[in-house]
Structure 1
């Protein structure tokens, strides 16, 4: 083995473990189960959908939308059947760990989501 390859391999071996430690694990996900024609689904998507990805909650638990008529995503196990839309299902490592059934309005939604994230994950709400 040439000295250059050996040195490069040694440096890579020392640096790579730290790079993976600095990369945040994306374990939590929020799945919104919707139905075509659902008034509350449209309201949520209109009012909160555009801003959700930019919020601390959205950064911690990115959103995935699925239609209630479709089979549940293959990589996720729901704790029970989804009946109401919208239903927001908090998933970690492919398993449902919490849900919000219905859309109670913007103020209640954020409060319920924060309570669920704090109770079921390691989410810490930013100060301010």
Structure 2
């Protein structure tokens, strides 16, 4: 997806997390540290939200995430798709690329 399309679409990747979650810590180490500089990160910047904390106004989600981590692809605050849990960098990237492809 080109930067101009991403800007027009205002895509974001919400990550709902629990600070004590081992899967979230693993994602942070394996993907999160480099995500902002990646093509996916430039297309859909992260919107981190504590799963038990305050949520941004104006989100239209299918349901509130209850599993940490949950990744929700948003366009202008509307849910396009989600990944629940983290099973490794390769699976995460494949699922995210598939969601981004459908969003294009």
TM-score by length of structure 1 reads: 0.72
Runs of 4+, deviation exceeding 3 Å: none
* Unmatched segments (≥5 aa) in structure 1: 1-20, 123-128
Q: Cα distance, 1:57 vs. partner?
A: 0.7
Q: Cα distance, 1:26 vs. partner?
A: 5.3
Q: Are 1:89 and 2:69 matched, yes or no?
A: no
Q: Cα distance, 1:36 vs. partner?
A: 2.0
* Unmatched segments (≥5 aa) in structure 2: none
TM-score by length of structure 2 reads: 0.88
Cα-Cα RMSD: 1.4
The aligned counterpart of 2:83 is 100
**Number of equivalences:** 99
The structure whose Rg is larger is 1
Is the strand fraction higher in 1 or 2?
Answer: 2
